[in-house]
A and B are shown apart, each in its own frame.
Chain A
Amino acid sequence: MSGPKPKELIEKIDYNPPQKGWMDVPVKIRKGMYCYASNPKSVEYVHLPHARPWNPLEEDWKLPDNWKEIVHNAFRERLDRFRSFKVFMDICVRCGACADKCHFFIGTGDPKNMPVLRAELLRSVYRNDFTTAGKILGKVAGARELTLDVLKEWWYYFFQCTECRRCSVFCPYGIDTAEITIMAREIFNLLGLNIDWIATPIANCYRTGNHLGIQPHAFKEMIEFFVDDIEEKTGVKVEPSFNKKGADILFVTPSGDVFADPGTYTAMGYLMLFHYLKEQGLNVTWSTYASEGGNFGFFTSHEMMKRLNAKMYAEAKRLGVKWILGGECGHMWRVINQYMDTMNGPADFLEEPVSPITGTKFTNAKSTKMVHLSEFTADLIYHNKLKIDKSRNDNLIVTYHDSCNPARGMGLFDEPRYVINSVCNHFHDMPRNTIREQTFCCGSGSGLNAGEDTELRLCGGLPRANAVKHVHEKFGVNMLATICAIDRAALPPLMDYWVPGVGVTGLTEMVANALIMPGEAERTTNLRGEPLSGMEE
């Protein structure tokens, strides 16, 4: 018998990946790393083209016959329409400053997740189709033709970007890779290639007003369910108002706060805070129609973002309020801060926001007319308008995750920390290069917080979790606070995998637990029904 000798067998085993140029490494769509294709019904409902069932794992994506032409024309149209996109395609010198700043690159170890290389996936086709050098020199000039494999590669990697913009902080030219992802996703939508975690929430939002399609009466009932829960825990019956014409302020928050734990406790916090302030002159109303702060249109196309965002101003106009207060949400704030005013504004029927309690003018929101709840709460605390018993939160050792969009998208760094330090005695920040403008994404933003892509989310969340683990081990941190509904949904499983023993909370939940409500019964538990500090049996 002359089979292979053990040595020969061992020599054949090579655990190192092949050393090829990136253009020669074909895309391999791995389970756990992508989201399911969109439900055709949802695509049709919002009038997007080429709705059909298709499966990313199958060879045939059932693309329209002229898909290359569609992509080429869409590319050209966007280069003409968005000066920034054209500039971003041209000016990158591939210095690599962004390369290792992406949480998906750091977590997956896949070089195509380096922001520079992810952009290069698109840029290579740009060179081929739209630049003279690329047309003549081809691969030498970094150009390549658009093929089906290239399209699949685009799809796989542009849905491995959460548009968090951490890379753009480090780019010496200020290239915003999120905008490149936004363009790529716009093009996918022209081919019917959205993911369902985005497409169906959009259709629901457009039809019913929120991601899950909770109808107005059910939305109201869910909030009334919280009212009972609050009464049980505090002895105080709060009385929220819905769709109240003539209210001073319209409150809009992500619907995740209403249906997904632990966001629900933050929603209870909103209700308690508003009830507390009623006597001091707060006249705020919830809308069962503009019942979604989140805007997955932002991850689809500019037009879809505009369409879904419009309902906020429309509802504010219908109810005749003075200004809008926004809850703890992530990308909603980038849409509001960066786009709303020019997309659906000017909201000249609204007034410049002024706190009815403190008289503070929110000049930063002069144009959009929409104030972030953390700013509003920080101002209340600063003016001593809230009676707080900090010790109720003594069993919490807290750290704060800067949600990408409020942090990088609108510079909200200090207000949330001020609020936390005002309602908790134990707070520890994570290392400097993982917070504030350098914050690491939760790994689930931009519509990627589905169930089928758990591996992707765990990889993307590794740098964030790694920093939490550090403060957990060093200071005993057991609670991760955040002001984004996607964070509140995405971080608990992330902690469960990487740093067991760390919970997740919204800011207003902690505020409400510490808030001394007039007429309250002795508070023995927090809103989750867990014993407060000193009340353990």
Chain B
Amino acid sequence: MRIEELLAQKKTAIIDKWFDVVADTYPADTAGFIKRQKDPFSNPVGGTTQKGLTGLMDELLGEMNHDKIDSFLDPIIRIRAVQDFTPSKATSFIFSLKKLVRNQLNKSDFNEYRILAELSELDLKIDLIGLMAFDIYMKCREKIYQIKANEEKNRTFSAFERAGLIKELPDSGPELA
């Protein structure tokens, strides 16, 4: 059996376990809540994670479309980029998938060259998603600092403007002889 077929068969079970991995990066009381509360508006972290992981799994088994991966990965990383995680903690859950997949295999499967080759191919795909997660994480952090900088800039500019200290350029400048 090909790895991808196997994963497709056990997709729901793997996603559930993957979801638990993400939830368990939070303190126990929080993890319990994230796993238990199914309403996506009462539990945006859980809702976003569930939706994102399901989409990522489909892409891993499917076409690995860059834009689609981004659309599923971005919301999860965007949340983790503002929470109390280091960059590695924020993105670690992606690489955990390697172990989750291996746990679904029988011991004898590891003796099959074909399966090992497919596993290594899957690992590469997971790595690719991991690398994208780094990009998204950085983009989010830069956005946070941009928001801080813009708020300061706007406050200063409006204060100057309202105090009448700024003169807008007229429509036409002086003629040069």
A contact set with B: CB distance below 8 Å: 15-17, 19, 25, 30, 32-33, 99-100, 105-111, 114, 218, 221-222, 225, 259-261, 431, 433-434, 451-452, 454-455, 458-459, 462-463, 466-467, 470, 493, 496-498
Q: A15-B25, A261-B158, A433-B41 in contact; A218/B163 too (CB < 8 A)?
A: yes
Give the shortest distance, in Å, between B64 (CB) and chain A (any CB).
24
Q: A111-B29, A462-B44 in contact; A259/B144 too (CB < 8 A)?
A: no
B54 within 8 A of A: no
Chain B neighbourhood of A108, CB < 8 A: 83-84
List residues 37-71 of chain B with CB under 8 A from any CB of chain A.
Answer: 37, 39-45, 47-48
29 contacts between A and B (CB under 8 A): A16-B24, A17-B28, A25-B27, A33-B84, A99-B33, A100-B33, A100-B37, A100-B42, A106-B45, A107-B82, A108-B83, A110-B27, A110-B30, A111-B30, A221-B164, A259-B158, A259-B159, A260-B155, A261-B154, A431-B41, A434-B41, A451-B148, A458-B144, A462-B82, A463-B44, A493-B147, A497-B78, A497-B82, A497-B147
Chain A neighbourhood of B26, CB < 8 A: 17, 109
Give the shortest distance, in Å, between A510 (CB) and chain B (any CB).
22
A454–B162 contact, CB under 8 A?
A: no
Chain A neighbourhood of B93, CB < 8 A: 15
Give the shortest distance, in Å, between A168 (CB) and chain B (any CB).
17
A466–B29 contact, CB under 8 A?
A: no
Q: A15-B89, A108-B83 in contact; A466/B147 too (CB < 8 A)?
A: no
Chain B neighbourhood of A25, CB < 8 A: 27
Chain B: CB-nearest residue to A458 = B82
Whole-angstrom CA separation of A261 from B158 in the bound complex? 9
Whole-angstrom CA separation of A493 from B149 in the bound complex? 11
Closest 3 CB pairs of A and B: A466-B44, A111-B29, A109-B26
Chain A: CB-nearest residue to B155 = A260
B30–A109 contact, CB under 8 A?
A: yes
B158–A100 contact, CB under 8 A?
A: no
Q: A15-B25, A99-B33, A459-B82 in contact; A497/B43 too (CB < 8 A)?
A: no
Chain B neighbourhood of A99, CB < 8 A: 29, 33
Chain B: CB-nearest residue to A111 = B29
B143–A497 contact, CB under 8 A?
A: yes
Chain B neighbourhood of A222, CB < 8 A: 162
Chain A: CB-nearest residue to B79 = A462
B44–A111 contact, CB under 8 A?
A: no
Given contacts A434-B41, A451-B152, A497-B78, could you give 16 more A-B pairs where the C-beta distance is less than 8 Å?
A: A15-B25, A15-B93, A17-B26, A99-B29, A100-B33, A100-B43, A221-B162, A259-B162, A261-B154, A454-B147, A459-B82, A462-B45, A462-B82, A463-B42, A466-B41, A497-B144
B44–A106 contact, CB under 8 A?
A: yes
Give the shortest distance, in Å, between A469 (CB) and chain B (any CB).
9
Give the shortest distance, in Å, between B161 (CB) and chain A (any CB).
9
A493–B84 contact, CB under 8 A?
A: no
Whole-angstrom CA separation of A259 from B159 in the bound complex? 8
Whole-angstrom CA separation of A33 from B151 in the bound complex? 17
Chain A neighbourhood of B29, CB < 8 A: 99, 111, 114
